[in-house]
Every structure is written in structure tokens, then in C-alpha cells.
């Protein structure tokens, strides 16, 4: 089975698609640009969603649900926002089909034209802030800390499974605050939540930073981002958190009486991560044998394969181990399907990235041991039965740590400081990854660099030191270094 | 606060809407027919979803996600299906907006017209069976037991919060089987799951039955249903499970090689419950003081209110109780907000249906006790501190049971056997509820009865005895009794 996938070296993009399809994560649907998330892929999303949801609730947020459809006029109320989204909107114009009187089957009923067109939400700031107007009257109603799990749609022309699809699943937090300081603090808190999730659960190291004006969310004052690095040296924007200032409050006239009894516009944030994270997860850890999953997000932690087939003794060991590991919160699959041979099963679970595989054969069992294989390193070892549950647990922890350490070493090695534009271009084409360089802060320079190298400013890292220097492109005075990369 | 809501006797419909709005469950949105599910309402939905999801997984199902949009041509492939849904479809015709060259703001870009219109899913049989064609080749691929949590849209003209909205949230199971028997068994299993959920978690008694041909799902061979009774004597269809035969397999050409190596069409089921259940939950238990919630679905199990305000001693008792109950899996809210008086808080939590309220005042505390109030009976009692956690736990269990017993007694009292059409009409208008009567099995009779009384056949109960009799309307020979009611 592993022979079927393209290697990363041969064709990175084909390798990625092969894994998505052959590990059974997702596939293209009959609707252009929309994907079907298959059960195994959805199980990973459920793990992500449950953990993120817990972290949102621990930071004081509650969930709600707002309409899928947004009146066209709402989108237009925030000028930058509509510029950012109008070009990729699915537009609902009618509410009924009918049988064609001329016998051409089912057609749109021209009498069911909507007075105002409705847009399938590309993001929900507008409909939510239109609702908040009624919910917020005084500072006592603030902060409002609300999140929504939903599907959204952006009509993308060039799509890739998980990374860029017309419809995707995500969460969008929309909070309302009495002061700018509080809203900024909220947007930073949620960026920290995203970074913690990426690093501790996805085992994917990220750089926290702020976007340049050019790369900001349409309607934001500041966009914070977590940026990850994929194995082909390209950056992936994995999550963003926006300080929206009073832009949406002004567009939708959301005011409150502050504690000095003065009328004031409300301050806003929004923040989101999506099924795109699954794309990042795949590209951070997987290898030429297939998917590699960090144990904390794996739908199955360990698979037990009888060799060559099940017996009463093997059943006992398998059931016993399953029960012990279940108690510790791990999911174990005992694959005793006799229609498929062990070698086939090994390849399949390798492809699906199950962190640990345990093979149980009669000879090993006679010695009181079984064979354990780690998916991350492909190492095999003999494990005594009386240590088995504990060894599996420790190994899962070791895999989680190893995946993070490995991807962090790779990422750290691919942050390169450059002093001039020749170096900039050389590093970008030869080595890839993040290029850190002085930037004069102008959109003009940023766009020139993009034009010449395809690299964009991923962020100004939040932990940057204040430095004085010379812009890598323009030679003008610069007081900050930006992180450039070619990005997904 | 309770003074603000209309009583059931005065105006049942206004009472319902008052509760939805004043308990903060949902509200109408700016988009006609679509609701905003507010955080407290969504928290109830989360409880429902989590429990149902657990039950689906325990019965072998996995989740997946299919596209929101369905090509118009798919809908037409199953003749009855399109008849059932074509009249209430949101139709996407364009994928871009643009600035009007005449300065009229943002308009639909005529150049971005889709070649084929897309429908926002009213239900997903068509897109899913189109996908299953590639997933199912042999009997080894069966059964396929997949569920989806999603939003769907049916363009309803007359909407009511939760009960009937253009967009709603639901789950839809779509399973594929090698034999008719297995598919029928699946549809019955899921009906049992729904009934168990309704009775054991919602504390809402239901009657399991099969629909008459007239009331079947568009495209089904048989539709099974759970029917509940609301306090105004109207029935509510709370969940349905469909045996779809080979209809969708034939429409989408989904065949498999059976174990005799013969090509055969696949057998199907689908089943769903939606946010409508929240409407049923409200109308089953609530009273003229507001919402009443069964503890198993209550976002907050107990609220602690200091009287008249918090003190170090009261904080201790509250924190101690919260910690003890949290360990047992209960959610406790300690409302020590000094800006609001106890009376205000009492009314609010009554409105929100929090099952238990504990008032802690200095005098009671000196006696080593607190006051506990039950939301279901409005009874108050003094509880010794050293029994408090245990008493709360036992009382929550008692409330759950009492709500079920109370609504079951009401429901049972409102199933009336009638022998002739005069009785039928009299019971329906005077007493309401379910009317059980012999029916000759014809759609003609069913429609006549509906025309004359507004009552529809809710179901033929699954536990019906075989009986011979005379149709209550036509006087013709009948061999089954049907359950009639006026329904939501």
C-alpha cells in the first residue's frame, strides 16, 4: 500500500493529496471546490474541536449559532470588509424550484426571486454585529464572549483538500468589549490559546506575530497570526485573531453606556481556526509511508494485529490491553478480521498514521512478549506483556514529544536571517522556510518583494527585539524585522 | 420577571414565544425565517447533541461531513424527493458580487452566473448517495453507518422559533446495507435510540409508530416516527427514521456485489432529529413561571444565591458545594453579583428553568442549614449542610423522574379511544390530545378527516394489537387503529 503514494521528493503536492485520499481523510465532491470529509478525517476534526472548545470555555467563552445567510446589504456596511469578500460569495437569489412548463425538468421558479439577495456567510462579523446591537446597551452587558462552530463558504477557484476549499468548517469567535485595551488583550489571549493548541496538541510549532497592513483581515485594525512551517519549506497561516477596533460597531451602530454614563461605540475582536488545520497537521508530520498523527489527536491510539490470525490466547491479551488502555482514556482497535492478512493491515494502519501498532504472534507470546512498532520512527521493539499497557502509555507520550521536537528542529533550522536581497532570494530558492529580514514598513516594498520572489510577510513576530537597521529591499531605514516566506 | 410572561391559558402560543425569548434561548434574526440560537439555548443543544452522538457511536455509527450545496440535477433524480423539497429551496445562482458601475453599491455580478444552480441542502440523501456510489463496491463495504451534524434549510413561510425555521441544526444518519431486512432493522434501532433519548433524557414520553403513506418522507418506503404531546393538546413529531428501500441507490446507481457475486442495488435508511427538539422540550415541561428543564439536559443544575449578599461564610459553603457537585458531574453557578438583588435572581433562574436553587442566608447558616427550591414543583425545603450535596444529587434525580411521570400522566390521559366520528370531533375539540380510532387505511379517508378536523394521522403505533373494526369516518372495514391529532 505504501508503494502507492508519491514521495515528497518526487512531488510534494501529489504526496499530500495521496495521503489525504489514501488515509481516507477527505475527497473532492461533485460540487466544485467543496470536499467530503470522510469519517477518519472527521474523527480528527472532532478531536480538534473538542479540545479547542474546552479551551474556549476555560477562557470564559460560550457558544451560540447565527444564521447561515447574510443580507447583501449587511456585507456592504463595512467598506474594507465587502472589498475583501465580495469577489468570492455564493449568492442565494431564489427560494423555490418548479417543474418547467416546457418539460425541461426542474427549474428555478422566476416568481420566487428574493427581494434582497442573501450571501452564504464567508465569515459572520456583519450578521453578528447586527445582532449585538440589540444585546448591548450598557457596560454591564460587556464583555460578550461568544464563539460559533459553523460552516462557511468562500468561492475559491483553485482549491486543495483541507488547505483551501470553497466550503470549510471552522469556529469564529466574536467578542465585544468596553475598551480597546480589553479587546486587544482578548485577541492576544486567543492567539495564545491557538498557539498552545498547535504546539501541545498538534505538535506543530508556530510563530506568533502580527500581520502587516497588507495582509490584515478585511475590516481589522490588527491581525495576529500563528504561522507554521510545512516540510516543503512553505509557511502555513494556521489561525488568526483580529482586533477590529470600533469598525463593526460603527458600521452596525452598536453603542453602550459606559460607567460614566457616556454613549460609546463597542470594541470588537474576532478569531478563527478551520479544517485547514488538518492540512497543516498532515504536512507537519507525515512521511513517505503515509499519515503520521500526534497521539493527542489520533482517533485510534494503538492497533493490535494478530499474527497470522486470532486465537483464544491472542484474544485474551488483546482484550486485556484494550481494557487497560481504555481506562487511561486511549482508543485501541483490535483488528482480528481474518479476510485480510497482517501485512495488508500493517500497511493500512501505517497509512492512517496510527501511533502504535502491536503485533501478537504465538512464538512471541510463548516468550511472554509482543512486538510494538512506533509510527513516528518506524522502530520496532519487543515488549514484555506485564509492562505492555505502561509501555504503550509512555510511548504515546514519547511520540507526542518526539513529533514536536522533530518539527521544531526542522522549523528552527529553517528560520534564516539575511542581510541583503541577494541572500534573501538565495535562501528562499535554495533552502526555503522563513527568511527574517529588516523591512522598511511600507506596503510598496512588501509588494515589490512579493512580485519578485512570491514571498509574503507572514508576520512581525511578537517576540521581536527592537532593532535599527536597513531594509533588505529598499535600503531605507528600518526598525523592525519581518518574517517572509512563500505561503500556502 | 415572571409577571412578564403570558400564561398558557391566556395564549399558549404567546406563552411559548415569551419563554423562548425571556429565557434567552433564541430570537428571530434579520434574515426572514432564520433564528439566532442564543448561548443558553445553544448550551441545551450541546447537551442534546453530545448525548445523541454518544448513543450513535455506541450503536456503531461514525460522523462525516458532506457539502452544504447540492446540484439542482441531483435533487431531481428521485421523483418523490424533488416533489417534497423543490418548493422550499434556497437556490444559489451566482458566485460573485461587484460594485455597480452605476453607483448603486454592491450588486450581483451577472458574469458570475453558475452553469448549474446549487441548492442549500434541505436534507442530504442525494449528495450522500451520489458519494456512496464510489464508496460501495462489494458486500464487504457494507454496512456503511454514517451520521452528519449539520445545518439545513427549508424555505418555510410561517416560522416559529425552534419548531419551524428556515434554517435549523440537525443530525442526519445515512446508512447503506446489503439487505432490506438489515436496513429495516437499522431504521427501527435508530427509532429506539430516539425514543430512549426523548424519554430518559428529555423526560418526554413518546409513541413509536409508523407513518401513513401520506405522511411519509419524500422518497421513503416507510417512515417511523416518535410522536410527543404538548400541553396544548397538539402532537409534535419529534424524530423520524426512514427505510428508503433501494430508491436512492437506483436514482444514483449505487450497486454492490453480494456474497453470491451478484450485482444488486444497495438498501438505505436515513434518520434525523433537529433543534425542533428544543421546542418540544420547552412545551413538555414549562409552566407559567418560565422554562422547566430536566436535569439531564440543563446547562446549569443548581444555582446558589447568597441572601441578601455574599459573605466569607457563604462563599465557603458555596465553593464547597460547587466542588462536591462538580466531582459528580454537575454544573453549579454561584451568583454573588452584588448589583442584583436576590428576588431578581430568583425570578431569573426560575425563568431559565434551573432545576435547583439554593438560597444561603446568615440566619439559616447559623442553624447549619440552607433553603433549597425545586423548579419543577416550586417546593422549598430546609436542608442540613452536611446532607446538602447528597440531597441536591437525589433531588436532581427526583426532578428528572417527576418530569417524566408528570408528562407521561398527562399524555396517557390524552389518548382517547373513540368509536364514531361524532366522538372523534368532540374529543378533538373539547379535550385535545391523541384520538385513537379505526381507520380504513385509505389516503382518501385520511384527507377527508384532515379537511374536516385539521387532525392528521400521527402514526400507527408499533405496539398496536391486530384488531378488526369499522373505520371511524368511512364505516368501511378496518384492521388497524391509527393515532390522530392536530399537530405542530
Note down pLDDT in tens along chain A; length 488 residues: 445 899 999 999 999 999 999 999 999 999 999 999 999 999 999 999 999 999 999 999 999 999 999 999 998 898 888 888 989 999 999 999 998 888 878 999 999 999 999 999 999 999 999 999 999 999 999 999 999 999 999 998 889 999 999 999 999 999 999 999 999 999 999 999 999 999 999 999 999 999 999 999 999 999 999 999 999 999 999 999 999 999 999 999 999 999 999 999 999 999 999 999 999 999 999 999 999 999 999 999 999 999 999 999 999 999 999 999 999 999 999 999 999 999 999 999 999 999 999 999 999 999 999 999 999 999 999 999 999 999 999 999 999 999 999 999 999 999 999 999 999 999 999 999 999 999 999 999 999 999 999 999 999 999 998 889 999 999 999 999 999 999 99
**Rg (alpha carbons) of chain A, rounded to whole number:** 26
For residues A121 and A48, membership in a common domain is answered with yes
Which of A285, A308, A323 terminates a domain? The answer is A285
Distance from CA of A267 to the nearest CA of B (A): 20
Q: What is the CATH number of the domain that holds B432?
A: 3.30.110.30
Task: Indicate yes or no: CB of A31 within 8 angstroms of CB of B70.
Answer: yes
Rounded Cα distance between B170 and B153, Å, is: 10
CB-based contact A94:A108 (threshold 8 Å): yes
Q: Last residue of some domain: A343, A364, A398?
A: A398
**Whether the Cβ atoms of residue A210 and residue A222 lie closer than 8 Å to each other:** yes
Considering the domain architecture, whether residues A269 and A340 belong to the same structural domain is answered as no
pLDDT digits 0-9 by tens, B19-72: 999 999 999 999 999 999 999 999 999 999 999 999 999 999 999 999 999 999
Number of domains, chain A? 3
Mean pLDDT (chain B, rounded): 96
Helix (H) or strand (E) holding B72: helix B72-75
Residue B263 covered by a domain: yes
CA-nearest residue to A41 within chain B is: B64
- Residue B156: the pLDDT is 85
Indicate whether A406 belongs to any domain: no
The span from the CA of A281 to the CA of A206, in Å, is 12
- Same domain membership, residue A464 and residue A420: yes
CATH number where A365 lies: 3.40.50.800
Q: Which ranges constitute the DSSP H helices of B208-311?
A: 247-251, 276-285
Cell of A272: 478563527
Q: How far apart are CA A386 and CA A394, in angstroms?
A: 14
B319/B277 same-domain check:
no
Secondary structure (3-state) at B221? coil
* Claim to verify: residue A56 and residue A140 sit in the same structural domain: yes
Count CB atoms within 10 A of the CB of residue B105.
Answer: 12
**Cβ neighbours of residue A101 under 8 Å, at least 6 residues apart?**
none
- In DSSP terms, which residues pair with A237 in a beta bridge? A227
Containing H/E element for A389? helix A388-413
| Residue B76 located in a structural domain | no
Grid cell locating B459: 402514526
Is B438 found in the same domain as B367? no
Q: Given B363, B395, B427, which residue is the final one in a domain?
A: B395
DSSP-assigned states of every residue in B361-423: EHHHHHTTEEEEEETTT--EEEEEGGGHHHHHHHHHHHHHHHHHHHHHHHHHHTEEE-SSHHH
Mark whether A120 and A163 lie in a shared domain.
yes
Q: DSSP 3-state assignment of B88?
A: helix
pLDDT digits (tens, 9 = 90+) for B361-418: 999 999 999 999 999 999 999 999 999 999 999 999 999 999 999 999 999 999 999 9
Contacts of A37 in chain B (CB under 8 A): 64-65
Chain A residues within an 8 Å CB radius of B120? 68, 92, 120
**Pairwise CA distance, residues B123 & A149, whole Å:** 20
* Residues of chain A positioned with their CB less than 8 A from the CB of B127: 29-31
* Closest residue by Cα to residue A459 from A214, A196, A203, A219: A214
Burial code of A44-79, b = ≥16 C-beta within 10 A, e = fewer?
bbbbbbebbbebbeeeebbbbbbbbbbbbebbbbbe
Asked if residues A292 and A375 have their Cβ atoms less than 8 Å apart, the reply is yes
Same domain, A319 and A259: no
Looking at residue A1, what is its pLDDT? Answer: 44
Task: Report if residue A198 sits inside a domain.
Answer: yes
Query: Following DSSP, what letter does each residue of A343-366 receive, concatenated?
Result: HHHHHHHHHTT-SEEEEEEHHHHH
Whether B98 is in a domain gets the answer: no
Local structure of residue B163 (DSSP, 8 states): T
% of chain B at pLDDT higher than 70 = 99
B95 contacts A167? CB cut-off 8 A = no
CA-to-CA distance for B195 and B208, rounded, in angstroms? 7
User: What is the spatial distance between Cα A433 and Cα A439, in angstroms, rounded to a whole number?
Assistant: 18
Question: C-alpha cell of A363?
Answer: 512464538
Chain B CB contacts of A155 under 8 Å are: 95-96
Picking from A57, A91, A253 by the largest number of B CB atoms within 10 A of its own CB, the best residue to mutate is: A91
Same-domain pairing of A364 and A429: no
Q: What CATH number is given to the structural domain containing B166?
A: 3.30.930.10
Indicate if A29 and A154 belong to the same structural domain: yes
Distance CA B55, CA B392 (A): 27
Strands A267-274 and A235-245, sheet pairing: antiparallel
A369 and A438 both lie in a single domain: no
- On whether residue B379 sits in a domain, the answer given is yes
Is residue A187 in a domain?
A: yes
Answer yes or no: do B428 and B384 share one domain.
no
Grid cell locating B5: 410572561
Interface predicted TM-score of the whole assembly (ipTM), two decimals:
0.97
Is residue A290 included in any domain, yes or no? Answer: no
pLDDT at residue B1, rounded to an integer: 44
Which structural domain, as residue segments, surrounds residue B151?
Answer: 2-69+123-285
Please give the DSSP secondary-structure letter assigned to residue B29.
-
Q: Would you list the DSSP string of A278-299?
A: HHHHHHHH-BTTB----GGG-S
Residue B347 clears pLDDT 50, i.e. is over it:
yes
Please list every residue in chain B whose beta carbon sits closer than 8 Å to the beta carbon of residue A105: 73, 76
Considering only CB atoms, A89 lies closest to which of B76, B96, B105, namely B96
Q: In the 8-state DSSP scheme, what is residue A160?
A: B
- Return the closest-CA partner of residue A174 out of A149, A144, A199, A151: A144
| Residue position matching grid coordinates 455564493 | A90
Dist. CA B83–CA B210, nearest whole Å: 21
**Which cell goes with B329?**
458531574
Amino acid at each position: 500500500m505504501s508503494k502507492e503514494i508519491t514521495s515528497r521528493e518526487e512531488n510534494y503536492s501529489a504526496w499530500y493529496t495521496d495521503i489525504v485520499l489514501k488515509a481516507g481523510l477527505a475527497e473532492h465532491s461533485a460540487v466544485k471546490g467543496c470536499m467530503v470529509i470522510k469519517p477518519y478525517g472527521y474523527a480528527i476534526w472532532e478531536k480538534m474541536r473538542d479540545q479547542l472548545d474546552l479551551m474556549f470555555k476555560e477562557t470564559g467563552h460560550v457558544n451560540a449559532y447565527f444564521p447561515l445567510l447574510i443580507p447583501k446589504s449587511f456585507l456592504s456596511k463595512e467598506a474594507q470588509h465587502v472589498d475583501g469578500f465580495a469577489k468570492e460569495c455564493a449568492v442565494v437569489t431564489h427560494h423555490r424550484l418548479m417543474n418547467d412548463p416546457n418539460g425541461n425538468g426542474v427549474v428555478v421558479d422566476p416568481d420566487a426571486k428574493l427581494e434582497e439577495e442573501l450571501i452564504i456567510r464567508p465569515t459572520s462579523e456583519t450578521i453578528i454585529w447586527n445582532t449585538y446591537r440589540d444585546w448591548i446597551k450598557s457596560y454591564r452587558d460587556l464583555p460578550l464572549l461568544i464563539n460559533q462552530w459553523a460552516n462557511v463558504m468562500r468561492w475559491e477557484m483553485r482549491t486543495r483538500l483541507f488547505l483551501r476549499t470553497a466550503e470549510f468548517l471552522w469556529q469564529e469567535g466574536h467578542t465585544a468589549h468596553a475598551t480597546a485595551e480589553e479587546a486587544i488583550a482578548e485577541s492576544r489571549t486567543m492567539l495564545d490559546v491557538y498557539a498552545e493548541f498547535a504546539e501541545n496538541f498538534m505538535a506543530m510549532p508556530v510563530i506568533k506575530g502580527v500581520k502587516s497592513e497588507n495582509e490584515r483581515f478585511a475590516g481589522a485594525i490588527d491581525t495576529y497570526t500563528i504561522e507554521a512551517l510545512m516540510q516543503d519549506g512553505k509557511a502555513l497561516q494556521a489561525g488568526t485573531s483580529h482586533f477590529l477596533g470600533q469598525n463593526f460597531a460603527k458600521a452596525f451602530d452598536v453603542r453602550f453606556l459606559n460607567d460614566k454614563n457616556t454613549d460609546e461605540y463597542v470594541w470588537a475582536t474576532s478569531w478563527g481556526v478551520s479544517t485547514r488545520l488538518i492540512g497543516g497537521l498532515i504536512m507537519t508530520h507525515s512521511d513517505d509511508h503515509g499519515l503520521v498523527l500526534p497521539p493527542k489527536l489520533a482517533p485510534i491510539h494503538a492497533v493490535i494485529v494478530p499474527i497470522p490470525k486470532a486465537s483464544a490466547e491472542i484474544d485474551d491479551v488483546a482484550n486485556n490491553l484494550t481494557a487497560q488502555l481504555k481506562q487511561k482514556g486511549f482508543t485501541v482497535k483490535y483488528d482480528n478480521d481474518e479476510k485480510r492478512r497482517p501485512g495488508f493491515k500493517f500497511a493500512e494502519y501505517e497509512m492512517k498514521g496510527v501511533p502504535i501498532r502491536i503485533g501478537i504472534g504465538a512464538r512471541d507470546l510463548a516468550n511472554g512478549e509482543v512486538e510494538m512498532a512506533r509510527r513516528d520512527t518506524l522502530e520496532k521493539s519487543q515488549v514484555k506483556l506485564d509492562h505492555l499497557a505502561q509501555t504503550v502509555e509512555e510511548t504515546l507520550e514519547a511520540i507526542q514529544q518526539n513529533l514536536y521536537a522533530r518539527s521544531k528542529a526542522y522549523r528552527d533550522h529553517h528560520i534564516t536571517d539575511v542581510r541583503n536581497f541577494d541572500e534573501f532570494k538565495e535562501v528562499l530558492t535554495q533552502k526555503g522556510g522563513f527568511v527574517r529580514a529588516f523591512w522598511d514598513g511600507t506596503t510598496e516594498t512588501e509588494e515589490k518583494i512579493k512580485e519578485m520572489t512570491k514571498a509574503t510577510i507572514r508576520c512581525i513576530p511578537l517576540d521581536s527585539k527592537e532593532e535599527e537597521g536597513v531594509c533588505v529591499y529598499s535600503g531605507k531605514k528600518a526598525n523592525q524585522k519581518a518574517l517572509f516566506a512563500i505561503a500556502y
